[in-house]
Structure 1
Amino acid sequence: MKTTPSYRADIEGLRALAVVLVILYHYDVPGITGGFIGVDVFFVISGFVITQLLQRAFEKGTFQFRDFYARRIRRLVPLFLLVSTVTFLMISPFYIGDAYYIFAKSWLSSLVGLSNIYYFQELAQYFAPETRSLSLLHTWSLAVEEQFYLIWPLALYLAYRFGKGRDGHWPFRITLVATFALSVYLAGAYPSAAYYLLPARLFEFMLGTGVALFSRQLPALNRPCAEILAALGLAMIIATGLLLTKHDHFPGYNALWPTLGTAMVIYAGLHQTGTLTARLLSLPVMVFLGGISYSLYLWHWPPVALLHYQLIELTWTNRLLLMVGVVVLSWLSYRFVENHYRNRPWSFKKSFMVFIFVPLLIIWAIQSTIRIADDLSFRIPEERRALYQVIANNNPADLYKRCFKGDPVEFNQGKACLFGAESENGQPNSMLIGDSHAIAQIGFVEQLIKGTDHSLLMVTRASTPFLPTHIAEKVQAADPTQVARNQALSDYLGQRPMTVFMGAWWSAYLKNNAFQGYFLDTIGWLKDQGHTVIILEDVPELPSSDFAECLLKNMDDCSISATKAEQNLENFYRFRAAAKQRFPDVKWINPRKVLCDAQRCQTVLNGIPLYRDESHLNNVGAIEIGKVYLERFGNPLGGDEKKKAQQ
C-alpha cells in the first residue's frame, strides 16, 4: 500500500488480530473462549481513525456532513449487499418457516444500521430463535458502529465550532467515566441490552477518540516506555481473548482490558513507530489480513450459521476449508467491490439512492413475499413437505389458542378447551394447568384420558406456571397478568376437588433454587383443596431448535445424548425427590420413558418429528408419544379395563 502520513501498518495488524480472534471464536477453535472481544478492538480502532479523519477535515475547513456519510455508504454498504445477497441465495434451499422470515427481517434492519436493535428485541422474546443459525447476526456490531458514526461527527463538529479556547479534558473524562460506569451497570442488570446496544459500548469508542483528540497533549513516550506500553497492551488483548468466556460479565469491566490494551498500542505507536509490538503487527500477513478485515468479518459468519442450521459438525476439516474459502472470498471482494466503489466521487444523493434506497425497496418486497406468500414447494422437496407441515402447523399454542392466549382472568371454559369424557352438568372433573410446556403435552394427555372418566379442562398461559395466589403475588409481582391468571385459577380450583395435571418448564424455573420451595408449597396447596395431583414431567431438551427439523435436513441420526439431557434435569430431580418424600401419593408421569434409553434420546418416533423447537413438542408428536407410552407401559391413570370393555 502507498504510505501516507496517516497510514499505520500496526493498526492494520490490530484489525487483523481482532478479526482473527472473532473467526477462531465463531469456528469453535479450542482455547479461544473470549475471541468475541475482537469486536471491541474494532470499536476502539474506529473511534481513533474516524476522529483523526474528522480532525483533519475540521482543521482544513473541508468537512461536509454529506461527503462524510457518502463515503461511509460507499465504504460499507456495497460489500454488505454482496455478502447478504449471496447469503440469501445460499440459505434459501434450506431455511424454512420462521428462520427464513427472520433472515429477511434482519436483512432489512442490517441495511439501515438497526440490526443490533432488531436482534436485541428478537432474541428477548420467549420463543427466540437459535442464535447460531442467524446468518446476519454478526451485523449487530456494524450497526453499533454506524450508530456511533451518526452521533460522533456532529458532537465533534459542535465542539470545534463552539468550544475553541476551552479545556476539553474534563468534559471528556467525565463522559468517559460515566459511559464506562453505565456499561458496568447494564452488563449486570440488563446483559442483553448491554451486549447489543450502543450505550454500553460507547466508552470503547471513546478510548480511541481520546487518543486521537489528546495525542498532542498527552506525555510523549521515549522508546523504552513505548515498548513496555505497546507490549502490555497487546498482551491484554490476547490474554482476554484466551481467558474470558461467554459466561463472564460483559461488556462492563471485562471489556476494559482489551479496549484499554488497544488504546495503549495505538498511543505507543504515535510516538515510537518501530517498537517490537508494532513490527509484529506490521508483518505482511497481518497487514494483508487487516486490509481485508471488513470483508473477512462479513463473509466468515453466514456459512458457519448454515452449518449450524443443518446440524453439520464443525470438524477441523470443515474449519480449515471455511477459513481458506473465507480468505479467498474476502480478498476477491476487497479488490473488486470494496476498492471499486469506496473512492468513487459520487454524491450523497447518488450513493444513498443506489446503495440504500433501491436495495431497501427490493429487500422489503422479498420480506413481504416471504411473510405473506412464501411457497415452500419451490424450496422443499415434495417428499419432505408433509414433515414440514407436522412441525410448522401443529403448534398446540396455536391449535388451542383460546385455551392459551385468551383473557387471563375470564379464561375459556367452553368446549374448545374441554377434552376426554363428557362432563357432568358442565363441570369437568380434571384440569391441565401450567405454561407453554403444559399445553405442548395436551396430545400426550389426551391419549392417556381416552377410555377413562376424565373430563379435562385445559387452562394454560405462556411463562405462567401455576402458583396459588399468595405465592404468585410474591413471585410474579413484576407481571400483573401472571398474578391475575393464577389468582383466577386459584379461585376456580378452590371450588371443588378435582384431578389436576400440572405441567411446566421445570428445569428453567428450578434454576432458581427458591422455586423448589414454591412448587412444593403449590403441591401442598392443591392437596389441601382436596385435589388429586398428577405431575407431568418434561421431555428432553434439545441442544438447539434446529434439531426439531432434523428429518428435513436428511440426518441419518436424529437422536441426542441422554447424558446431556439428564444433566439439564438435575434440578428437577432434586425437586422430584423432595416432593415424593413430602407427598408420596402424588403421581408422576414421565414421557421420557418412551424417548430415552441409557445412551440416546429420540427426537423422532415412528418416522414422526416430535418437536417444534428445542423444548416444546408439536401436537402430532405429543399424540404419538402418548400412543407408544400406552403400548409399552399401560395407562398410569387406570381405565385400561374400561377401555377393553368398550372395545
Structure 2
Amino acid sequence: MQAVRYRPEIDGLRAVAVLSVIIFHLNNRWLPGGFLGVDIFFVISGFLITGIILSEIQNGSFSFRDFYTRRIKRIYPAFIAAVSLASVIASQIFLYEDFNQMRKTIELSTVFLSNIYLGFRLGYFDLSANENPVLHIWSLAVEEQYYLLYPLLLIFCYKKTKSLRVLRNISIILFLILTATSFLPSRFYTDILNQPNTYYLSTLRFPELLVGSLLAVYGQTENGKQQTANGKRQLVSLLSLSALLICLFVIDKHNPFIPGITLLLPCLLAALLIRSMQYGTLPTRILSVSPIVFVGKISYSLYLYHWIFIAFAHYITGDKQLGLPAVSAVAALTAGFSLLSYYLIEQPVRKRKMAFKKALFCLYLVPSLILVGYNLYARGILKQEHLRPLPDAPLAAENHFPETVLTLGDSHAGHLRGFLDYVGSREGWKAKILSLDSECLVWVDTTLADNPLCRKYRDEVEKAEAVFIAQFYDLRMGGQPVPRFEAQSFLIPGFQARFRETVKRIAAVKPVYVFANNASISRSPLREEKLKRFAINQYLQPIQAMGNIDKSNQVVFDLVKDIPNVHWVDAQKYLPKNTVEIHGRHLYSDQDHLTEFGSYYMGREFHKHESLLKHSHGNALQ
C-alpha cells in the first residue's frame, strides 16, 4: 500500500471553500451559499484523514499516539493563538455579559464541546451570533469529535475482517442512519436533547465527514485502475465543479433540512470532484494554479482569523452589514495574521518532532490552562466593573406593595422593572413580570391554548387585578430595523390579528394596559464607553435612533384602540429624543433595552404627567 500522495488541487478546493465562507460572512447577499464552504472542508478532511489512517493500518504502522500527536500539532497551536488574541481584545472592549458568553464557548472548545454548548445557548440577551468572535470554532469541535470516534471504527472493523469492503458497507449504514436523523421532528431536539439550534449538532454533521471517508475507503478498493483522464472523466469533473459553484449561489441558509440532507448535495459534488480530479482533468489544472494552492495552504489560519475580525467589527460598529472601510480593515487584518500564523506557528510546529506526551502537555494542556485562567481573571475584572455602583441619581424606587398587577411580554416587558416599581410605589400597587415563551406571546390558537406554558400564564391572568402587556412588537411583525437580531427568526406569522385577539380575550375579564415600545438605537452606549478608552468611537457614526417608532406604535395602537377595557400607555415619549444619557447615566443598556436607570427615569417623568391604575375602567385609550 502506497502512502497518500499530495494533491495540490485539493488545496485549491480548500481555497474555494475558505473564500466562500469569508465572502458569506462579510455579506451573505454576495454569496448566499458561501456557508457551504464549511461542508466542503468536512468532506476534504474526511477524505484525507481517513486515507492516511487506512494507509497506515494496512502498512501496520498506525498508532493512535502518532495520529493524535499529528492532530494536536496540526490544529491546536494555531487555534489557541487565534482564540487567545480574541480573548485579549474582547477583555478590553466587551461588556461583562458579552465576554462571559464568549468565555464559556472558549472553555468548552478546549475539550471540543463548543458546538454542543452553542446548540442550547439560545436566549434573547445572548451575544448576537455575528458578534461572537469564536462562534466559528464549532466546526473544529465537530471534526475532533469525529476523529475521536471514527478511527476506532476503522481499527476494529479492519482487524476483525481484514476487508475494506466490509468497512465501506458499515460506513454506508452509519451514514444512512445519521442522515435519517435530519428528518426527526424539531421537538425531538428541543425537548429531548435540549438542542434548539441544530445547526451545530455533530450527528447531523458527521454524514458530511463520512462522505469524505467513504470516498477514501472506496478509492482504496480500486487497486491498479486506470489513472488517466478520458472524455467522460473530464465531463464529470467539469460538471461537478460547475454544479458545486452553482450551489454556492443557489442554496441559502433558509432552505429546509439545513443541516441535514440538503447539505449532502454539495458534499457529494465535492466528493465527486475530488475523485474525478485525480485523473488530471481541467478542474485539476485550474485548482492547481500556484496562487490558488497557496490560499488553500493557509486556509486554516484564514478560517480562524477572518471571523474574529468580522465579529469585532460588528460589535464595535453595531452595524448588521459592514461598510467598505470595515471590510477593508477586516481583509487586511485577516491576511496579515493568517500569514503570520502559517509561517510562525503552523509550519514550524508541524515540522517539529514531538512525542505524544510532550505535544499533549506543551501544545495542548498548558496553553489551554493559561487561556482559561486568563479568561477567568478577565471575567472577574469585568464583573467588578459591571457591578460597580454609579454616583448621583437613584437607580430604582423601593416598592413594598404586594404584587397585584401582572406584566406579560418578552424582554421589553422585563426592562420596565424600574418604571413599574417607581410608578407603582406612588400609586399603591406592584407589578409581577412574566417573560413569556415565544409561543405564548399570542395564545388564541387551539394548539397554543392547550400548551401547558400558555395555560400557566392564563392562570396568572385570572389572579391579577390588571394586566400590562409590553413586547418588542417590531421584532414579531418584521417592521423597523432590528439591530441585534435577524428579524425573520423572531417573526410570528399573523402576529397583528393574533395579538389583537389575545388582548381582546384578556380584556374580557381584566383591565388591560398595552405599552408602547421604545425606540431602538444604532449602537450600545455602554459599549461606547469601553471604546472611548481606545478612542475608537471617534471613527464611528454618532449614536442615533433607528426606524420610526411613532409609526410602529401607531400600528399597535390601531390594533387595540376599539377594544373595551383596554388602555394605551405611551411612556416612551418621556425619554429624551436626542441623547442616550441623563446626569451621566445611560438610558439604554444595548440597542433596544433600557438600563435600570433609564426605566426608572422614564417612570419618574411619566408620573409627573400621567397615572396608570387611576384610569377609570372601560375604553380609556389615550
Query: If the TM-score is normalised by the length of the shorter chain, which range does it land in?
Result: 0.7 to 0.9
Check if 1:577 corresponds to 2:561: no
Cα distance change of structure 1 residues 476 and 327 upon mapping to structure 2, 3 Å threshold: farther
Deviations 1:318-344 (A, max 9, x none): 323332332232222212211111133
The residue that corresponds to 1:33 in the other structure is 32
2:334 counterpart (313, 326, 329): 326
Tell me what 1:149 maps to: 147
Residue-by-residue CA offset, 1:547-594 (whole Å, 9 max, x unaligned)? 66345434452113215x689x5xx8666434324x155221234445
Find the counterpart in structure 2 of residue 235 from structure 1.
242
Going from structure 1 to structure 2, the CA distance change for 1:416 and 1:86 (only over 3 Å counts) comes to same
Q: Of the candidates 610, 616, 619, which is equivalent to residue 635 of structure 1?
A: 610
Deviation, structure 1 residue 605: 5.9
Match of 2:254 among 247, 257, 260: 247
Give the SS at the match of 1:259. helix
Candidates 307, 331, 334, aligned match of 2:313: 307
Q: Residues 584 and 282 of structure 1: is their aligned pair in 2 closer, same or farther, counting only changes over 3 Å?
A: same
Give the deviation of 1:346 after TM superposition.
Answer: 1.5
Structure 2 equivalent of residue 423 of structure 1? none
Residues in 1 aligned to 2:50 and 2:473: alpha-carbon distance in whole angstroms: 52
> What residue number does 1:458 align with?
431
Q: How does 1:219-618 map to 2 (within 5 A)?
A: 222-249=229-256, 250-270=258-278, 272-273=279-280, 275-311=281-317, 314-372=322-380, 374=382, 416=400, 418=402, 431-446=406-421, 454-463=427-436, 475=448, 479-480=452-453, 483-487=455-459, 489-493=460-464, 498-507=465-474, 511-513=491-493, 519-529=499-509, 531-541=510-520, 546=524, 549-554=527-532, 555=537, 557-563=542-548, 576-581=557-562, 583=563, 586-594=566-574, 604=581, 608-618=585-595
Calculate the aligned-residue CA RMSD, in Å. 3.7
Name the CA shift for 1:38/1:192 in 2 (closer, same or farther; >3 Å).
Answer: farther
Partner of 2:171: 172
Q: Give the letter for the 1:318 counterpart.
A: A
With over 3 angstroms needed to count, the CA separation of the structure-2 counterparts of 1:628 and 1:292, relative to structure 1, is same
Letter in 2 for 1:289: V
Gaps of 5+ in 1: 401-414, 420-427, 641-647
Quick one: percent identity of the two aligned structures?
27
> For the structure 1 residues 244 and 590, does the alpha-carbon distance in structure 2 shift closer, same or farther, using more than 3 Å as the test?
farther
Map Cα deviations across residues 4-60 of structure 1 (whole Å, 9 max, x no partner): 861101100011111111111222275222211111110000010011101110111
Structure 2: distance between partners of 1:98 and 1:524? 38
Distance 1:296 1:242, change over 3 A: same
Q: Is the 8 A contact 1:433 1:466 kept in 2?
A: no
What amino acid sits opposite 2:128 in the alignment? E
SS where residue 461 of structure 1 aligns?
strand
Letter in 1 for 2:469: M
Change (3 A) 1:32 1:526: closer
Which residue of 2 is the match for residue 22 of structure 1?
21
Consecutive aligned runs of 4 or more in structure 1 exceeding 6 Å deviation: 186-189, 218-221, 384-387, 465-473
Q: 1:83 to 1:18 in 2, by over 3 A?
A: same
Instruction: Calculate the TM-score normalised by the size of structure 1.
Output: 0.79
Give the Å deviation of 1:528: 3.4
CA deviation vs aligned residue, 1:232-291 (integer Å, no higher than 9, x gap): 222233222223333333222331232122111101023x12x11111111111110111
Q: TM-score, normalised by structure 2?
A: 0.82
Work out whether 1:132 is the aligned partner of 2:130. Answer: yes
2-side partners of 1:76 and 1:550: how far apart? 36
Deviation string 1:381-413 (CA, Å, 9 cap, x unpaired) is: xxx9878x99xx97x9xx99xxxxxxxxxxxxx
**Contact 2:419–2:602 (CA under 8 A) maintained in structure 1:** yes
One-letter amino acid of the counterpart of residue 560, structure 2: A
Distance 1:525 1:606, change over 3 A: same
| Cα gap change, 1:467 to 1:243, in 2 (>3 Å) | closer
Q: Is the 8 A contact 1:77 1:111 kept in 2?
A: no
CA drift of 1:293 comes to 0.8
Q: For 2:146 and 2:152, how far apart are their aligned partners in 1?
A: 10
Which amino acid is the alignment partner of residue 237 of structure 2?
Answer: A
1:130-185: CA deviation from partner (whole Å, max 9, x where unpaired): 12221111111111111111111111111211133464554333332332232354
Please list the CA deviations of residues 200-225 of structure 1 after superposition, one character each: whole Å capped at 9, or x if unmatched: 11111111111111125579685222
> 1:457 Cα shift?
2.5
The CA distance in 1 between the partners of 2:39 and 2:501, in whole Å, is 47
State how many pairs are aligned. 580
Moved more, 259-268 or 225-234: 225-234
Q: 1:525 to 1:25 in 2, by over 3 A?
A: closer
Matched, 1:213 2:217: yes
**Match for residue 482 of structure 2?**
none
Q: Per the alignment, in what secondary structure is the counterpart of residue 92 of structure 1?
A: helix
Cα deviation, residue 479, structure 1: 5.0
Is the contact made by 1:562 and 1:596 (CA closer than 8 Å) also made in structure 2? no
AA in 2 matched with 1:263: A
- The code of the aligned residue for 1:160 comes to Y
SS of 1:501's partner is strand
CA distance in 2, matches of 1:14, 1:29: 20
SS in structure 1 of the partner of residue 430 of structure 2: strand
